[in-house]
Amino acid sequence: MKGSDLFVRCLENEGVEYIFGVPGEEVLDILDSLSRSKIKFIVTRHEHGAAFMADVYGRVTHTPGVCLSTLGPGATNLITGVADAYLDRVPLVAITGQADQEKTHKEVHQYIDIVGSFRHVTTWNTTIKRADFIPEIVRKAFDIAADAPGAVHIELPEDVAEEDTGKVPLQRKGKGHISSPGEEELKRVAGFIKNASMPIILAGNGVLREEASPELKEFVDRTGIPVATTFMGKGAIPADSHLYLGSVGIQEKDYIICGIDVADLVICIGFDPVEYSPRFWNPGASKNIVHIHSNHPVVDSSYLPEFILIGSIKETLKHLVTCCNFKKEIPEYFIKLKGIIEGELESFRDDTSFPMKPQKILYDIRKCLSRGDILISDVGAHKLWIGRLFPAYEPNTVIISNGLASMGFALPGAIAANLVLTEKKVVAAVGDGGFMMNVQELETARRLGCSFVVIIFNDSKYGSIDWKARIKFNKSFGVEFSNPDFVELAESFGANGVRIEREEEFAPLLKKALEDGGIWVFDVKVDYSENMKLSWKLKGDVCKF
């Protein structure tokens, strides 16, 4: 068979369900082979969108999402989404075409060193130089993407795709060993936790990646230790648990940091420093830390654990809880802190002002979604409000790009989430800037028969940059723009457009859109004067209550 046929058979062998991508001349053989495959090729309108779709597929399935592009500009367009998966440790396999190998030593149309370009945004990448190497390279790529986890990249030159080979896909034999620390080490850690007077758990994205939320909840219920999460760890424990305090993620000293400030032990479970730098919550390196993760901690002067438990988070918690023969009373300070944090969103439930406050928009979205429905947040000022205040009750129900924090993430992400989680309602929360970065994927969504709601937080500017500039310089520059008519734009793609003109319209229309199905785009004017109000409030001594 030819190399591209073997390549696609190897992808089938790895359980690939979808490939998101844009066609190109140098991947014609791969596309020809896919035309005879059970794998569904999803044609997107930009490689940017293809990579984000693969990214979100990897987040919600915990298996590698796959994206495809041709050489040159197609591949460079793919990089942003691949880098997003790399920093957020999402399993993803990027495939790019390339010119014949005989051309790569000289100046050739559209040829650049793609393997070199991807090297710094992937866990591993390579080019396939002979068709016989395909089975081993594909297996290695998927193993690394799933186990690291993270983004990997395979380049398949056009002549290798055409080359004849007698190789076949590799059989998968045996199961991986799930490890956890030894009993004596677990007992020492349990004793250390027992002796702490005010311990707190900081749960990160690793808990969701490894599907360890049930074990975390059992550990929390057994020990009585309160939990804070990172933005990407939202849903690791239900927001209505009496031991859930809230989420950390903004650089200012937010309320939840007050809980970490008074804690004498921080138990970091599945926490990656890229989610929230330790210098924001442990600037003096004074905190005792226990590190529970499948990976060794990144070296950081503000993150120096007393104990390091490396292994499956799920298995480690399962065994650690059996060593914890104690249950702590939640301190009154933490009870008050939880009340303040929960009350902040609740206080906007009856706000009738228009343009709408971001808190009120989020309050209404939460009321219109069930516990298991999905909110995907793009990057912008609204993301910070979602990260701070939006309650998540189940894992992977609030999906945020945080490491690379790339605008344009949510609309393609909503497509992937809807393809995989067909029984759940999906809302994409976007700024007007981020929406326009991948608006073309509305056509993809319409063609695929998707069903989700896009809510545009419309302020006619890059709101988060305006916010940061005003904090730093007391003014902003170069952040304003004009917008098209979002309703007419949505309708031109065959979607349903809604312009909210009064606050009382929003929740009923959103509820109806979610019930009716189809693609909806809501244009909602937002009052971001709340941004600076929050910043001024957090400049005070927020820990005095």
Decide: helix, strand or coil at residue 7. Answer: helix
| Residue 211, φ and ψ in degrees, nearest 5 | 50, 45
Checking phi first, is residue 89 left (phi over 0); if not, alpha (psi -120 to 50) or beta? left
What does the alpha-carbon distance between residue 461 and residue 467 come to, in Å, rounded to a whole number?
10
Residue-level pLDDT at 304: 94
User: Across 118-198, where does the E strand assignment appear?
Assistant: 124-127, 151-157
pTM: 0.95
Q: Are the C-beta atoms of 434 and 461 separated by less than 8 Å?
A: no
Q: For residue 55, what are its two tokens? A: 């990214």
Q: Decide if 235 contacts 175 (C-beta within 8 A).
A: no
Longest dimension (CA), the chain: 73
**For the segment 48-96, what is each residue's pLDDT rounded down to a tens digit?**
999 999 999 999 999 999 999 999 999 999 999 999 999 999 999 999 9
Domain extents for the chain? 3-162, 183-337, 347-539
- The count of other CB atoms within 10 Å of the CB of residue 53 is 30
| Sheet containing strand 374-377, strands side by side | 398-400, 374-377, 426-431, 452-458, 519-525, 496-499
For position 112, what pLDDT does the model report? 81
Tokens standing for 398? 């609030």
Residues 6+ apart with CB under 8 A from 351: 357, 359, 360, 503
Residues 6 or more apart whose CB falls under 8 angstroms from that of 515 comprise none
Task: Kindly state the DSSP code that residue 350 receives in the 8-state scheme.
Answer: T
Cα–Cα dist 449/464, whole Å: 33
**Fold category of 347-539 in CATH:** Rossmann fold (3.40.50)
Q: What is the CATH T-level fold of the domain 183-337, as seen in this structure?
A: Rossmann fold (3.40.50)
Angstrom CA distances, 114 to 46, 100, 124, 131, 538, stand at 18, 14, 13, 19, 45
pLDDT for res 202: 97
CA 523, 235, 283: angle at the middle one, nearest 5?
Answer: 100
What tokens does 93 get?
């396999």
Enter the DSSP assignment of 480.
B
**Do the domains 183-337 and 347-539 sit in the same CATH topology, yes or no?**
yes
Question: In which element (H, E) is residue 430 found?
Answer: strand 426-431
Give the per-residue pLDDT at 103. 61
The per-residue pLDDT string of the chain (545 residues; one tens digit each, 9 = 90 and over) reads 999 999 999 999 999 999 999 999 999 999 999 999 999 999 999 999 999 999 999 999 999 999 999 999 999 999 999 999 999 999 999 999 998 776 666 566 667 899 999 999 999 999 999 999 999 999 999 999 999 899 999 999 999 999 999 999 999 876 666 688 899 999 999 999 999 999 999 999 999 999 999 999 999 999 999 999 999 999 999 999 999 999 998 877 888 888 999 999 999 999 999 999 999 999 988 999 999 999 999 889 999 999 999 999 999 999 999 999 999 999 999 999 999 988 999 999 999 999 999 999 999 999 999 999 999 999 999 999 999 999 999 999 999 999 899 999 999 999 999 999 999 999 999 999 999 999 999 999 999 999 999 999 999 999 999 999 998 999 999 999 999 999 999 999 999 999 999 999 999 999 999 999 999 999 999 999 999 998 888 887 777 77
Candidates 3.40.50.970, 3.90.1530.10, 3.90.1150.10, 3.40.50.2300; CATH matching 3-162: 3.40.50.970
Copy the structure tokens of residue 330: 């939640």
Per-residue model confidence (pLDDT) at position 104: 65
Question: Which pLDDT value is given to residue 102?
Answer: 67
Sequence-separated (6 or more) residues with CB below 8 Å from residue 494: 442, 443, 446, 519
Report residue 429 CA to chain centroid gap.
Answer: 13
Collapsing DSSP to helix, strand or coil, 377 comes out as strand
pLDDT in tens, 485-511: 999 999 999 999 999 999 999 999 999
Distance CA 420, CA 409 (A): 17
User: What is the rounded distance in angstroms from the CA atom of residue 238 to the CA atom of residue 481?
Assistant: 39
Query: Can you list the alpha helix ranges (DSSP code H) found in 228-350?
Result: 255-262, 278-281, 313-323, 332-346
Gap between the Cα atoms of 316 and 311, Å rounded:
7
Give the integer Cα–Cα distance in Å for 280 and 83.
24
Taking the alpha carbons at both ends of the chain, their separation in whole angstroms is 72
Comparing C-alpha atoms, which of 93, 112, 91 is closest to residue 21? 93
Residue in this structure with the two tokens 């910070």, named with its chain if needed: 384
Residue pair 457/358 in contact (Cβ under 8 Å)? The answer is: yes
DSSP 305: -
Residue 100: per-residue pLDDT: 77
d(C-alpha 48, C-alpha 428), whole Å: 17
What pLDDT, on the 0 to 100 scale, is given for residue 251?
76
The predicted-structure confidence for 213-264, as pLDDT tens digits, reads as follows: 999 999 999 999 999 999 999 999 999 999 999 999 887 788 888 899 999 9
